[in-house]
Structure 1
Amino acid sequence: MPLTFETKAQGYDRRCRLQEATVDAGRAWALETFGMYGPTLRDEVARHVREEHELSLDAQDASGHRSASVYGQFWRGILERFEQFESLPGVVLVRPGGAPYRIPVINGVAVFPWRFASSGQTELTQTPFVTSPARFEAANLGGVALQEPLIDLEPPDPNLSEEELRLLDLFTSTTNAPEVSSSRMVIVAISSSVHGLHSVNWGEVWLTADGYVDWKSFHESLLRLQPTLPVSASPARTFTSGDVPSKFPAIDEQASDTSADG
């Protein structure tokens, strides 16, 4: 069955049809948004969130505290993990508004991991995003120049099928048009607590006048993705590896750490 993938970026509308394609819609969106390494980023984002959740649970258990404040530091850990994406070609780390963290900008798109809730019942649009100057700046980054690699390394294999390479060429030829704006942000929206990893969704968002965010169009759950092996451009710089996490109960219990993070 033909795959139809529709995109509406500021300044242009288009519809792309790839006859008899078997490209997963999530991989196709990642290709269009982030370029050649978009599908790799998609898999790695899912893995990092799962592993940070597991490590945060272990730290909470080891603390022996009744309060879930130790797990509440999840937001710091996931932001540090996202800095590891600097090892992918074309990634620039930006420190928004003097924040104590840096976020990756990939193909001109900022990626922000946000633990917006500790309950599975909370929606993304119910939690204010702009609670600091850093958050506001992260959602309004202008054009960020690509950083040339300090060492000429062989880039990692993006593992794209022939159909995905054809789709990438189509996306690249269109998104290079001058009408395509910067100031784009993809949110990795995480709802989690000591009771479980309730939801992990990612997609491009827009900032409302009152400081909330909402999905622009396409967004997907990353919980369904199977864990993949780490990818690196250099043996000296690798993404964090480890055993497949085991603590992911599919429940929607209210958590004891109720504040949003990051």
Structure 2
Amino acid sequence: MLQVLADFHVHTLLSPCAEVEMTPHHILLRAAEFGIGAVAITDHNASANVAAAIELSEQYGVKVFPGMEVECAEEAHLVVLFDTLEQLASWQAVVDKHMNGMMNDADKFGAQYVVDAEDELVRVEERMLLAPLCLTAAQVVEKVTALGGLVLAAHVDKPAYSLVGQLGFIEPDSGLAAAEISTAGWQKGCQARWQRLTGFLPFVTDSDAHNILDFIQGPKNLLAVEELTIAEVRKALQSSEGRSLTAGKFSDYLEELL
């Protein structure tokens, strides 16, 4: 059984709120340096920097899950994860059809950069990525699941851009695979409260990193799986067939590597 530290929510400089240091190359380099064995690249409503990260994954020995942070019609964020670039491309096509058509104001929201594996600029994304899609949370779950992916409710303990913040609670039959709780919520021992509000979904704890320091020091998940696939992550979230996922900050583990 593999035991791997995993972070399922990491932004690159394609997200307008991320620092320019958040290139795929820099993220993978630091992941390898600090013993983070699996990373999901999850930019806002976009996926153009995932291919560069996957290109680097073998070089650095870090698994990259193709992903995205989606803003649904309820103005809440969902993290979607896949096994392959082909699945992600199919999902990106769905997202493109349901964007609002607005253009980005880089001075107000920040620039959105697509880069290659060598950190060279490929293009600037002109569409406004920080905006809700014309897809409800239920529709996102349905379509992502049909493509073979899984969906996490992002930062459920935050008042803004979370399903709980927008709706008050999550239905037990939502189809979501897990609920993500922030470092603050975890450290305050609020898990029992958030379990009730999220329909008793399993928890994950991710960095939601927009800069390298937050990526290194942010919370992670300890995965015990046979291999790093979406099917195995599902089993880990369900504590099925000997697989497991232990959420938490794991600061002691990371401090040993600093």
Q: TM-score range by the shorter chain?
A: under 0.3
TM-score, normalization: structure 2?
0.27
TM-score, normalization: structure 1?
0.26
Q: Which of structures 1 and 2 has the bigger CA Rg? A: 1
**Taking CA–CA contacts closer than 8 Å with sequence separation of 6 or more, which of the two structures ends up with the larger relative contact order?**
1
